Amino acid sequence: MYQLNSIGALESFLIAIGVLFLGHFVNSKIPALRKFNIPEPIVGGLIIACVISVLHYNGIDFKFSLPLKDTFMLMFFATVGLAANYKQLVKGGLKVFWFLAIASVYIIIQNAIGVSFASMLGLDPLMGLVAGSITLSGGHGTGAAWAQILTDEYGIQSTLEIAMASATLGLVIGGIIGSPVAQRLINKHQLESEYGRGTTTHEKYPELVTYNENEEDKVTAKKVIEVLFILLLCITGAHHLSEWVNGFNIEWLMVPDFVYALFLGVIVTNTLEVFKLRKLESETVDMVGTVSLSLFLAMALMTLKLWNILDLAVPFLIILAIQSVVIGLFSYYVTFKLMGSNYTGAVIAGGHCGFGLGATPTAVMNMGSIVNRFGPAPQAFMVVPIVGAFFIDIVNLLILQGYIFIIQ
């Protein structure tokens, strides 16, 4: 007989923060976790999820009260929108759009692989999207957001557990294969940096928002309050906009609230920029976005029911293995060639492996390990973070909507 223990909202929030500290402690003790840039909330959250699973098998269950979980999710996606300043596009040049086109084509391929093999292995085709761009190109935040939608709207169970496992494995594999792909290209084609070896340059571009939890830029209380105010405007506007659109009862139009929050963030930041009303500090947006995502992921992983995914483990491992091989081949033969077949193209190919299977910080980590050894590639550090930190999320949402419409 199971014993159900309900935990209050304040205590649940305290545990969520404890999950982050636990992840930080474990990461500090295990170099491999730092090497592959595994996020602290993922590490701490999975440990707590394992403990809860053990207790479940011993007849003890917990029910957490997390009323702010969705709010933190919306805050994160709103910061993604706030990071999309049109001036960054100008700095990145045409290569930003070219790389975005390449990455967009790959998302279509990635989802085709996920849906096809999910159907072949007897899974719901929508679960193939979870093992596709929802988690691999989208990351943990997008995976957790869509998991809730797939459960609420389509009645698919265990999506959160699968999404977190898929995103975590993708993050690890993306960090493993990215640097070898780039290094193979450099050695095979005898490529060299035009700046020579031994100089790093991506640190010269602090205006890029990459959601790096190790940022040390100066952030003031006033700046934080300003960003929080704008984020709450975006979140409130997203709720009202969602209700207004849903009032039309358009069956094929299913737009999650976080999409509205993201687009409102884009509108706000560029309106402020165009009319020179106020410049939002990228460091503050980055910090608030990182905190929001960390707390959201910690809360999401606290509620994982790992015992529900045992039957799905093997099929998803097969799909992820295939996805890993395909992104490696695509980056090696397609991304490298279309991005110029030069040193910068090789570095970008390594970065594509990172965020194509994991996240933008993984892409930056892959590229950083290459330039530290072979020399600078400043354009790569301009193009990949811009595409990976924002624009690929927009394209991903549109492509996912198309796949869901076709599947249903």
Which pLDDT tens digit goes with each residue over 203-235?
Answer: 554 554 444 444 455 778 889 999 999 999 999
Tokens describing residue 174: 């993306």
DSSP 25: H
DSSP secondary structure of 110-173: HHHHHHHHHHHTT--HHHHHIIIIITTTTHHHHHHHHHHHHHHHH--TTHHHHHHHHHHHHHHH
Query: 61 falls in which pLDDT band (50, 70, 90)?
Result: confident
pLDDT tens, residue by residue, 348-407: 999 999 889 977 767 877 887 788 788 888 788 778 877 876 688 888 888 998 999 888
pLDDT at residue 192 tops 50: yes
Q: What is the mean pLDDT of residues 296-317?
A: 79
Lowest mean pLDDT among 62-66, 87-91, 96-100, 170-174: 87-91
Measured CA to CA, the distance from residue 365 to residue 36 in angstroms comes to 8
Share of the chain above pLDDT 70, in %: 88
Query: 64 falls in which pLDDT band (50, 70, 90)?
Result: very high
Structure confidence at residue 215 (pLDDT): 47
Query: 165 falls in which pLDDT band (50, 70, 90)?
Result: confident
Under DSSP, is residue 280 helix (H, G, I), strand (E, B) or coil?
Answer: coil
Q: Do the Cβ atoms of 361 and 174 come closer than 8 Å?
A: no
Whole-model pTM? 0.70
Structure confidence at residue 211 (pLDDT): 46
pLDDT at residue 36 tops 70: no
pLDDT tens, residue by residue, 72-119: 988 988 887 887 777 766 766 788 889 999 999 999 999 999 999 999
**Torsion angle of C-alpha atoms 224, 230, 235, 238, degrees rounded to 10:** -160
Query: 199 falls in which pLDDT band (50, 70, 90)?
Result: very low
Structure confidence at residue 15 (pLDDT): 94
Tell me which residue of 211, 149, 160, 176 sits closest to 46, measured CA to CA: 160
pLDDT tens, residue by residue, 324-360: 999 999 999 999 999 999 999 999 999 999 889 977 7
Measured CA to CA, the distance from residue 350 to residue 51 in angstroms comes to 36
User: Quick count: other Cβ atoms within 10 Å of Cβ 30?
Assistant: 12
Structure confidence at residue 201 (pLDDT): 44
Lowest mean pLDDT among 63-67, 82-86, 227-231, 282-286: 82-86
Query: 200 falls in which pLDDT band (50, 70, 90)?
Result: very low
Structure confidence at residue 372 (pLDDT): 78
Winning range, highest mean pLDDT, from 11-20, 61-70, 270-279: 11-20
pLDDT at residue 202 tops 50: no
Structure confidence at residue 253 (pLDDT): 62
**Helix (H), strand (E) at residue 62:** strand 60-64
258 vs 204, higher pLDDT? 258
Structure confidence at residue 212 (pLDDT): 46
User: Quick count: other Cβ atoms within 10 Å of Cβ 247?
Assistant: 8
Q: What is the mean pLDDT of residues 133-157?
A: 86
